[in-house]
Amino acid sequence: MKRSTNPELACPVAPVVDIVFSRWTTPILWTLHEHGRQRFVELERRLTNITPKVLTQRLRQLERDGLVTRTYHAEVPPRVEYEITELGASLGPLFAHLATWADASLATVERARHAYDTAQ
């Protein structure tokens, strides 16, 4: 059987990892899942280390991917709110499994790193 040289075909979860686990995507989705609909400034306050430019870029990509909706309210001043979609919320069990794995395994990972670094 010939193996595919295309990594996306060789590993069927690669496209999911590219979508969901790019920098800032997970914290944004987690925040919207945990806190509900948020204005840009609210997200910015909750995600303290993200720049406004990067937050804007990530929100646009998440909207494009169908994981977040953007609602514009034509008021003075204008108001924009972001909310996780049903598709985005469907990632909740995946995040829950990862959180469980993290609780059970990150200490072991840290010990392995320490042992590796010490041996180098």
Per-residue pLDDT tens over the stretch 13-55: 888 888 888 889 999 999 999 999 999 999 999 999 999 999 9
pLDDT for 7 equals 61
pLDDT for 29 equals 95
CATH of 1-89, one of 3.40.50.720, 3.40.50.150, 3.40.309.10, 1.10.10.10: 1.10.10.10
CA distance 80 to 100: 34
Report the range of poorest mean pLDDT among 13-22, 33-42, 63-72, 89-98: 13-22
95 confidence band (pLDDT: 50, 70, 90): confident
Token reading at 45: 């306050």
